[in-house]
Amino acid sequence: MRSVILLAYLLITCFAAKAQLFSGSFKKGFYYNDTGVKVPGTIKPEQTFILFKQKGSSAEQQISAGDIKGYVIATDSFTVSHNAILGKPHFLKVLINNATKLYFYRADEKVNFETYAKEIPAGATTNFKKGTGKERSKYYFYGKTPNALLLLNDQNFVEVMSGIMADKPEIVERIKDKTVNLDNLNEWVIFYNKEKADYPPALGN
């Protein structure tokens, strides 16, 4: 029965998830400025900046990612990465906020990061390898912070995601049997976060 419920939930979230990221309209939310102060209003997000209207105002402000710490719309949180591989500060969606975090990144255009990595600036933290991988516009990264990004790929997927989702053994089983993969990861992340909210660890664990 639990497997049937899980499948039904994933089918529903599959459609909902695709409509939420960078939807192209202003939505109620807030951002944290460079000193950590919360500023409420409405936000229209882009990859390297947000368009922002303060509460009660129709005036639009363009705020660069490098000038703030991040923003929140509904239940979606976005942080700022200053990792040099991205060229300039970009927003990353925080998918899982554990000790090792999972991030989602949408490039402005299709790029093969592993090939692009031949020009990695000094100090960039990455596991990219020159000349491998596919040209894509959507990437998953993991790491302890948004500035220390490692690329999630087919080769490290089982090991990395089994570690990140280790507190939900039933999902880890699906990772190991390849039910969960890069193509459907977002739906499983939504399910994982719901399971974590619905069934938190016992006190003291």
Residue 57 lies in a domain: yes
| Within a domain: 9 | yes
In a domain, 159, yes or no: no
First vs last C-alpha separation in the chain: 27
Q: Give the residue, 49 or 148, on which the prediction is more confident.
A: 49
Q: Which domain holds residue 142?
A: 2-152
| Residue 61 belongs to a domain | yes
Please check whether residue 194 lies inside any domain of the structure.
no
Structural domain total, the chain: 1
Residue 118 CB contacts under 8 Å (≥ 6 apart), including other chains: 130
pTM for the model stands at: 0.79
Sequence letter at residue 191: F
Count the Cβ atoms, other than its own, within 10 Å of residue 158: 16
Closest of 66, 24, 36, 72 to residue 49, by C-alpha: 66
pLDDT band of 86, cuts 50, 70, 90: confident
The contacts of residue 5 (CB under 8 Å, 6+ apart) are none
- Domain contains 69: yes
Q: What proportion of the chain, given as a percentage, has pLDDT over 90? A: 55
Contact criterion met (CB below 8 Å) for 104 and 170: no
Residue 160 maps to a domain? no
Asked if residue 198 is part of any domain, the answer here is no
Residue with token string 């969960």: 180
Mean pLDDT of all residues in 179-185 = 95
List pLDDT tens digits, range 13-48.
444 444 445 556 899 999 999 999 999 999 999 989
CA 70 to chain centre: 12
Q: Which one, of 81, 79, 76, 70, lies nearest residue 33 by Cα?
A: 70
In the prediction, which pLDDT does 203 show?
Answer: 47
